[in-house]
Structure 1
């Protein structure tokens, strides 16, 4: 029953995120964060709720430190949770922290399955970051 309630809260959060994106309304993003947080509180094994809260915090609201904290906490619980690793790498890259982004993306590529939907993006990002590193040294 706990999982069902958490899933409903998570789904409600997803709807608020959708409305926020469609209407450019920060208020909807805040509501989504509330519901993602509640879903995770109800069922702490429901990692997707915390993952999507972190993504929302970073991408839509620009609250970088809070997003990184969510990804760090997820990785502390499970160091092989490669979706948190990928998204933390994206967050590092979007904020100009290229060495951290490269490390996360390289680790993601060694831990995740090549059939994962993010795999091609991670490969491109690693090449881009390696090129940036090479150009910076020249």
Structure 2
């Protein structure tokens, strides 16, 4: 009788863990993908330039659309979205077929909450240059956030067919595979994203969740730990680590990790719910 009771307890714990994982996967599917999207705008040197030095460049040559595009990128990285928008507007005014500026401006529109303007700019960028991978990735992410998963998949697929080296295409396609339960494909895409951006924590979290969904607990745990080492300020990483501890019955360690996740993001539901479960009793 004791063995049966233990079996029932283990089974119940397994069902509970799978339900929690399903909840975490649902939340993960809503994430935006790798952080720092503005680091992927077309003119990469914008991230290393000082705003004042870029302004000096513009003062010397106020008719240079490239300069406005670079400074707009720098403004965007600094969260100064209105200034970024004005610079991208100016770049497009000076060069009406500046497809990179359209794509960059689309991201700013998205951050400002104007999804229709963002979509229009991505469409215009692609109309000008049908081989511009960044515009497909940006539009795909816009579609994914709107729940238009097939359109999103098509755009990420197109970027990948164009031989993009942007990890967001693989990461975001991996999230879509993951949401469909196609974890083998998701793991492959997350692994490619990791190879392209080995210092990004998000693909490790994504791959870890798919490993966990296929009961590969050791690889999942290794990925979550790596995500924490790369960036210890992401609540999802700590909550994912806690989920493995919880599955293993290590409630004290799980509660500690859930608590850190909740501290980093008090609104992150898996952290709050996990903390309540593991501290109960």
What is the distance in 1 between the residues matched to 2:158 and 2:186? 17
1:58 to partner: Cα distance: 0.4
Aligned to 2:140: 54
Question: Is 2:99–2:128's contact at 8 Å kept on the other side of the alignment?
Answer: yes
- What aligned pairs does 1:53-132 form with structure 2 within 5 A after superposition? 53-59=139-145, 61-78=146-163, 80-109=165-194, 111-115=195-199, 119-132=200-213
Instruction: Give the whole-Å Cα distance in 2 for the aligned partners of 1:128 and 1:8.
Output: 35
**Residues 132, 3 of structure 1: alpha-carbon distance in 2 compared, 3 angstrom cutoff:** farther
TM-score by length of 1: 0.72
CA distance 1:13–1:125, shift in 2 (3 Å): closer
How far apart are residue 130 of structure 1 and its match? 1.1
1:105·1:122 contact (CA, 8 Å) conserved in 2?
yes
* 2:4 alignment partner in structure 1: none
SS at match of 1:8: helix
Number of equivalent positions: 123
Q: State the distance in 1 between where 2:187 and 2:139 align.
A: 23
Normalization by structure 2: what TM-score? 0.39
Q: Which residue number in structure 2 is paired with residue 43 of structure 1?
A: 129
Q: Displacement, 1:83?
A: 2.6
Question: Secondary structure of the equivalent of 1:102?
Answer: helix
Specify every segment of 5 or more residues in structure 1 that has no aligned partner in the other structure, as ranges: 21-27
Query: Which has the higher Rg, Structure 1 or Structure 2?
Result: 2
8 Å Cα contact 1:3-1:43 kept in structure 2 = no
Which secondary structure state, in structure 2, belongs to the residue aligned with residue 93 of structure 1? Answer: helix
CA separation of 1:34/1:96 partners in 2, compared to 1, >3 Å: closer, same or farther? farther
Long gaps (5+) in structure 2 = 1-64, 66-94, 217-281
What is the SS of the residue equivalent to 1:78? coil
CA RMSD of aligned residues (A): 2.6
